[in-house]
Amino acid sequence: MTLHTGPMLTLDDAERERGDALLARILVRTRPEADCLLWDGKPTRRGYGRTSTRRGRYWLVHRLVFLLDGGTIPEGWVLDHTCRRRLCILPAHLQPVPLVANTARGELYRSDAPCPTCGCTAHQPT
């Protein structure tokens, strides 16, 4: 099984057509917590949500939801969780950035610096 994470971060025609149904299926497996919308399914070993489409393509849930919401992820870029919670799938908390920027933001967060989104120190990664 391969997660759809490579340079072709686009939805195929069938996934685009079934966008509303895919999103509905995802939303029943989420729960609101603070300002986030967290995936409530089993996380991957790295702490991200994972799902598959009916066409058998596996996706990290936050990437699929971001694309279904109309977002784009440039080739070679990743989605940064600005809320610092890996299970959050809320598109407003996801920002496409180069991998080096995502890594730097993660290091900044781990250094007990204030949250880059709201300035607080209360968030805990999930």
Domain boundaries of the chain, sorted by first residue: 13-110
| 13-110 CATH, one of 2.60.120, 3.90.75, 1.10.3210, 1.10.540 | 3.90.75
Strand partners, 37: 32
What are the tens digits of pLDDT across the range 97-113?
988 887 777 665 554 55
This prediction's pTM:
0.74
Q: What is the mean pLDDT of residues 42-68?
A: 89
* pLDDT tens figures, 34-48: 899 999 998 999 999
Supply the pLDDT for residue 8: 45
Q: DSSP readout, 52-116?
A: E-TTS-EEEHHHHHHHHTT----TTEEEEETTS-TTB--GGGEEEEEHHHHHHHHHHHHTTPPPT
Task: Measure the CA–CA gap between 14 and 28, rounded to whole angstroms.
Answer: 21
